[in-house]
Amino acid sequence: MTGAATTYKQQHSEAQTDPGRFWLERAAAADWTRSPTIGVDQSRSPFNRWFPDGELNACHNALDRHVAAGRGEQAAILYDSPVTGSKRQISYAELTDEVARFAGALASFGVDKGDRVVIYMPMVPEAIVAMLACARLGAVHSVVFGGFAAKELAVRVDDSQPAVIVSASCGIEPNRTVAYKPLLDEALELATHRVATCIILQRDALQAELLDGRDHAWQSVMSTASAAPCVPVASTDPLYVLYTSGTTGQPKGVVRDTGGTVVSLDWTMSALYDAEPGDVYWAASDIGWVVGHSYIVYAPLLNGCTSVLYEGKPVGTPDAGAFWRVIEEYKVKILFTAPTACRAIKKEDPTGSLAGNYNLSSLKSLFLAGERCDPDTLDWAGATLGVPVIDHWWQTETGWAIAANPLGIEALPVKSGSPSVAMPGYDVQVLDTNGQPVTAGDIGSIVVKLPLPPGTFTTLWNAEERYVSAYFSRFDGYYETGDAGYIDSDGYIYVMARTDDVINVAGHRLSTGAMEEVLAAHPDVAECAVMGAADQLKGQLPVGLVILNAGVDRPHDEIRDELIARVRKEIGPVAAFKSVAVVERLPKTRSGKILRGTLRAIADQKEWNMPATIEDPSVLDEVTEKLQAIGYAGGK
């Protein structure tokens, strides 16, 4: 590699000065059927194209090349399912064989290069097999979280127009079995796009009734399938479409290209996570979300690591020591999860005593992402595990970290409340409402100067105009992240809230995230959320909801008064923080994000629709009652 960059600042500077050259050098680590000579084509910005004259196959880079290099017997996937009591170790050679045969099965049903395949499955190895089989054929997979509502699945079917749908008979939760097939059947009745073929994995917990002619059992098609070879595709050809929520109610199909994804994700494993081939890497997420795509499936396998696939929860399968058991059993080196998982564990085991029951010596780092990480959670995790805890920030649209502490390049000092610095490839700035840079330390809109690095989204599926209007129209030449925050004098980024979570109290712009940090630091608080509610006098007022740690039996009024006093002391009287309620649960998506927009609508007494991504709708009734009790309530 030329221009040997050894420090973070050197690499960030090189990527900013000449992004095409910087990433072209890193592209040499991939196997190409036609090596690229062009780094980036910016002629149609923001539709920038990475390695436009290159050709490769993502499945070959994730599997076949490792087998050819002698890693065939190494574990590729460690499947651990406490909800079914089953475990399975799959080597690179075994996974390559299964993927090649399932690709052959898809091809036998007419799936060809460029065709879409919807995958609607639980956290089972077959889901990974299906994703990689699509990549092997040059087909485009679109994973929909297993158990997603039929109406939402139908919308995604109509938008992506798949040739085949791959699903399972059921998903399994700690206390219930979720039948997928009735949801799939209903979705296909609602959808206008006709799907001729569905492949269904029959699980022991529940057998699905198959429709003659359309439905085929996974086990049956695999028994007769012939292995299919890897199909080379253009670097700029789509690898997958992943739908994320849209403000209009119409989901946005984020498109990830093939070459940019392969190059960037492989590079992040070493540069960011300090992972080497053979290391055990565990992203405790779900394949239905971007973290699962990037860091359960593609990145670990591209890098020759062993990836843990966990079908369970941080608590309740069977207790708050579940994660520590997995780390000990599989000698996990790097754990990547969401702050909400840590908060769930902390709520059940506030002192972290269960970690002492396990040998966690293999663990070298814990990475957190998916939502803001309050300093109290970060400090608790560090004290419990005794390893560096790295908060990093990224989005479905970016596919990998915008800001992080790049342990594989240079471990930087940690600042609580900050996901550290912009990763090489990201020129991050903070702008005011007029598009002008703000002074260091001032809150504004966080943006990224174009071009975005490889592996970020290249468009929205069938929606080029929306791609531009939603992300690039407000600040010319910049990607609008939708997050608000500031950058300090050392270049550390602080992501305080979504842009619409910066509230205006009597003319003062305040971050709800900063208030949440104060509430979360209270010794009795396990988790919290703050949103702005409309107020006739001050414009908006902050309203807090808190969950208490297990075993706390102090009067709630006493705790509430302490919380109000803390915010007044640390944020100031200007925050006018007077309303806080203790709740049992907070409404969250299946990926663990708090549904703050819905909470705002309830507090503002506005009409709201049931979010498609909500994990448990009954929580909203409980929260509404609590808000009514402190003077806020809304209608559905």
398-448 confidence digits (pLDDT tens): 999 999 999 999 999 999 889 999 999 999 999 998 999 999 999 999 999
How far apart are the C-alpha atoms of 339 and 223, rounded to whole Å?
42
Measure the CA–CA gap between 566 and 35, rounded to whole angstroms: 58
Cβ count near 536 (within 10 Å) = 5
* CA–CA dist 402, 414 (Å, integer): 16
User: Residue 545 has what pLDDT?
Assistant: 95
Q: How many CB atoms lie within 10 A of CB 85?
A: 6
We find that the CATH architecture of domain 8-312+392-484 is: 3-Layer(aba) Sandwich (3.40)
Question: How far is residue 624's CA from residue 634's CA, in Å, rounded to a whole number?
Answer: 7
Would you give the DSSP letter of residue 551?
T
DSSP designation for 415: -
For residue 626, the cross-strand partners are none
- Residue 610's H or E segment, with its range, is none
**Residue 499: band (very low, low, confident or very high) from pLDDT cuts 50, 70, 90:** low
pLDDT of residue 3: 40
Provide the pLDDT for residue 2. Answer: 38
Which band of pLDDT confidence, cut at 50, 70 and 90, is reported for residue 599?
A: confident
> Angle at the Cα of 214 (from 212 to 216), degrees rounded to 5?
80
Which residues are within 8 A (CB) of 551 and not within 5 positions of it... i.e. 6 or more apart?
Answer: 350
Q: Which two tokens stand for residue 569?
A: 């002391």
Q: Is the pLDDT of residue 232 over 70?
A: yes
R_g (Cα) of the chain, nearest Å = 24
Judge whether 239 and 57 are in contact, CB under 8 Å: no
Per DSSP, the residues of 134-183 read HHHHT-EEEE--TT--HHHHHHHHHHH--SEEEEESEEEETTEEEE-HHH
Cis peptide before 318 (omega within 30 of 0): yes
How confident is the model over 317-356, as pLDDT tens digits?
999 999 999 999 999 999 999 988 998 999 999 999 999 9
pLDDT at 322: 98
Does residue 124 register a pLDDT over 80?
yes
In angstroms, the CA 107 to CA 225 distance is: 9
Q: pLDDT confidence of 534, banded at 50, 70, 90?
A: confident
The reply to whether omega before 587 is within 30° of 0 (cis) is no
CB atoms within 10 A of CB 573: 9
Read off the pLDDT band of 200 (50, 70, 90): very high
Range of 54-63, 375-384, 488-497 with top mean pLDDT: 54-63
pLDDT of residue 508: 66
Average pLDDT, the chain: 93
Q: CA 31 to CA 24: how far, in whole Å?
A: 13
DSSP class per residue in 402-455: SEE--TTT-PPPP-TT---EEPTT-EEEEE-TTSPBPPTT--EEEEEESSPPTT
CA separation (Å) from 173 to 122, 266, 267, 381?
10, 32, 35, 26
Q: Six-digit token pair at 76?
A: 């590729």
Q: Give the list of residues 6+ apart from residue 389 with CB closer than 8 angstroms, or none.
A: 365, 366, 367, 368, 378, 381, 382, 414
Q: Break the chain into its structural domains and give their ranges.
A: 8-312+392-484, 506-629
**pLDDT tens string 10-49:** 999 999 999 999 999 999 999 999 999 999 999 999 999 9
Cα–Cα distance between 389 and 379 in angstroms, integer?
8
- Topology of domain 506-629, per CATH? GMP Synthetase; Chain A, domain 3 (3.30.300)
